[in-house]
Amino acid sequence: MKLIELSSSQKSFKTIRFNPNGLTLIVGDSSPDHQEGSSNGVGKTLALKLVHHCLGATLDKKLKAGVPDWIFSLEFSINGTDHIIERSADGKRLALDEKTIAQKKLLEWLNASGVFRLDPELPGLTFRSLITRFGRRHLKDCVDPIVTSMESDFDGLLRSLYLLGGDCQLVAAKKLHKNRIDELKKSLNNWDTDHILRDMFRAGSQPKVRAEWLDKEIVRLKADLSRFQVAENYRGIELEAGELTSELREIEKQISIIQFQVQGINKSLQSQPDIKKDELIELYSGLQEVFRPEMLAHFDAVETFHNTLAINRKRRLESDRTRLHAQMKELEGNRKRVGEKRDQLLANLHGKRALDEYASLAKQLAQYESERDRLGEYLEFANNLQKQMQSIKEAMVAEDREAATYADTTPLSQADIYFSSIAELLYPRTAAGIVLESNTGYNQLRYNLSVQIEGDDSDGINAARVICFDWELLFNGANHNCGFLWHDNRLFAHIDPKARTAWFSNVLATAAVNSKQYIASLNTENYETMKEYLTESQWSELQDSVVITLRGDRPENKLLGVQFGR
């Protein structure tokens, strides 16, 4: 794939015609009032963003808001066949080769265009995900050669290794295994929301112990229910028996009272006077000296009176006793009758229980069986998950050994040698290389892929690391048919002039010879500071590669030809 021309439906737009081979330079002279290299500047970075826009990228919010009706066109070739994509800034109008097409269909067409050989067995490989490495449009794309701004570490590793020609099957397999284990753990954790398990775990019980206890309880309850005899009128009989028991207690209370009364009468009948008759006569004889004789003359009458009282009292007590015995006999008869009736009712209830007791017992059994079934499902599920996780972990261990063996063969040795030679041009006698090592950690990354130039903690050297890696992909990469590489000025801003000159000297000497397109945007300062390190012929060749110069002095000299943004 090569770029031919970037244009617009608006006449003010500065059309960019790309050199078919070799270097294409876009030089920008930014206004001091604008941030250099941004979409608010003269348009160097914006040009790259417009290429991505035409190639199906997500809409740029500033572009959509600023010039929604503008239609931008990108002409390009794939395997010698020219194509053109036209897309409005708001994305509402989109055409491929002058035929309207939906964005989804355009992306499908780009995926199948042959620019990249997309392996369907590897996840996340698309035209859009891979083309970013041939035109890093965002600032964060330029920080790490392996991982771009919109990628995870796994995606960065897989895509970079794929374009380097490395074996990616084990890379994809590890993520698949790790994700599967995470899903299994999540599935197991979802049981925490089950109220039975939640209450059980909260109580500190173990599912297996609880299940074993339930097994025993269920057997006991079933046996109890099988022996259960239900008396449908159990509660009525039980209530009647209770009333009879209360009646018995009242009868027994009355009998006890009568017995107490009878005992008192018996004691009264058995009692005798404390003073005998002779003693009374002696007492009265002694009183004759104190009282007048006529006062004591009636002793015999008194004696007769007292004897009469004793006889009457005895007769009354015996009569009361006879009456009480009759009452007691009647009460004892009632007690026998009521007792027999109550005993008969209780005998009818013997071995039988109430229907509500049966229902309660049956309900308890159903609850235990439901809980046991749920625990059984959980234990079986957990056991199966553990087996699956163990199987996956064993596969991961085996693949770790396979990956370690693969890494030991130094599969990226040619890429390492080429990268080192390119880095040597910019920073002579500086250690540099590409290293692939097995990653056995419990994560998604099968390998650690390192692209290094000694001192890459420096902004300039780090940018050179990205530039050299992308060049590596363009010239010695695999699984692609991309014939262009675009580097924005932000990658050159911190590289010292001498190293920058060495880089462009390499581009001039290499790109055209190999029928590759190298597109770069530079501000005036970064462009002109290379002159003192180039020969006249090299400087002349560099000047000839400039296809457009954008200036920030007036809006009409910017890429869009109008003021855009701030």
Structure confidence by residue, pLDDT tens digits, 246-272: 888 888 888 888 888 888 888 877 766
Count the Cβ atoms, other than its own, within 10 Å of residue 538. 17
Residue 557 vs residue 31, higher pLDDT:
557
More confident residue, 374 or 125: 125
Average pLDDT of the residues in 136-149: 95
Torsion angle, alpha carbons of 252, 257, 258, 261, to 10: 160
CB atoms within 10 A of CB 486: 22
Q: What pairs with residue 453 in β-bridges?
A: 432
Each residue's pLDDT tens digit, 161-197: 999 999 999 999 999 999 988 888 887 776 655 565 5
Using one digit for the tens of pLDDT, what is the confidence trace for 208-221? Answer: 787 888 888 888 87
Residue 334's alpha-carbon distances to 11, 237, 261, 343, in angstroms, are 125, 20, 20, 14
Which pLDDT band, with edges at 50, 70 and 90, does 326 fall under? confident
358 membership: H or E segment, kind and range: helix 355-408
**Between 216 and 515, where is the model more confident?**
515
Across 116-125, 357-366, 540-549, least confident range? 357-366
pLDDT at 357 over 80: no
**What percent of the chain shows pLDDT beyond 70?**
82
Assign 235 a pLDDT band (cuts: 50, 70, 90). low
- Tell me the pLDDT band of 363, cut-offs 50, 70 and 90: confident
Crossing angle of the two packed helices 195-202 and 207-226, in degrees rounded to 10 = 110
Distance CA 400, CA 170 (A): 9
To which residue do tokens 């083309």 refer? 131
Task: Say if residues 450 and 435 touch (Cβ distance below 8 Å).
Answer: yes
DSSP letter string over 219-258? Answer: HHHHHHHHT-EEETTHHHHHHHHHHHHHHHHHHHHHHHHH
Is the pLDDT score of 144 beyond 90? yes
387-431 per-position pLDDT tens digit: 888 999 999 999 999 999 999 999 999 999 999 999 999 999 999
Residues near 154 by beta carbon (within 8 Å), at least 6 away in sequence? 171, 175, 444, 445
- Rounded to whole angstroms, the Cα distance separating 342 from 348 reads 10
Cβ 423 vs Cβ 464: under 8 Å: yes
Please check whether residue 101 is in contact with residue 26, taking contact to mean a CB–CB distance below 8 angstroms: no
Q: Is the pLDDT of residue 244 over 80?
A: no
| CB 24, CB 522: distance < 8 Å | no
Residue 332: partners with Cβ closer than 8 Å, 6 or more residues away: 255
Q: For the chain, give the percent of residues with pLDDT over 90.
A: 58
Task: From residue 261, give the alpha-carbon distance in Å to each of 254, 267, 317, 328, 334.
Answer: 11, 10, 10, 11, 20
Instruction: Name the token pair of 396.
Output: 């991961």
CA pair distance 109, 113, nearest whole angstrom? 6
DSSP code of residue 191: G
Task: Give the model's pLDDT for residue 343.
Answer: 73
Q: What is the pLDDT of residue 297?
A: 54
The 10s digit of each residue's pLDDT in 10-60 is: 999 999 999 999 999 999 986 554 444 333 479 999 999 999 999 999 999
Of 58 and 328, the one with more pLDDT: 58
What was the pLDDT predicted at 342? 72
Q: Is the pLDDT of residue 355 over 80?
A: no
Average pLDDT across the chain, whole number = 86
Name the region of 397 (left: φ>0; alpha: ψ -120 to 50; beta: rest): alpha
pLDDT at 200: 56
- Encode 378-412 in three state secondary structure: HHHHHHHHHHHHHHHHHHHHHHHHHHHHHHHCCCC
Domain 1-115+481-566: give its CATH code. 3.40.50
* Residue 92 to residue 241: CA distance in whole angstroms: 90
So where are the chain's domains?
Answer: 1-115+481-566, 229-350
Find tokens 């209830």 and name the residue.
Answer: 349
Instruction: Look at residue 321 in the predicted model and tell me its pLDDT.
Output: 84
Residue 485 in 3-state DSSP? strand
β-bridge pairing 432-438 and 22-29: unpaired
Give pLDDT, residue 35.
46
- Confidence class for position 240, pLDDT limits 50, 70, 90: low
Higher pLDDT, 332 or 432: 432
The residues pairing with 550 across neighbouring beta strands, listed in sequence order, are 28
Per-residue pLDDT, 38 = 39
Phi/psi at 162 (5° precision): -65, -45
Q: Average pLDDT of 517-539? A: 95
The mean pLDDT of 332-344, rounded to a whole number, is 79
| Alpha carbons 547 and 538: distance in angstroms, whole number | 16
Highest-confidence segment of 281-290, 336-345, 401-410: 401-410
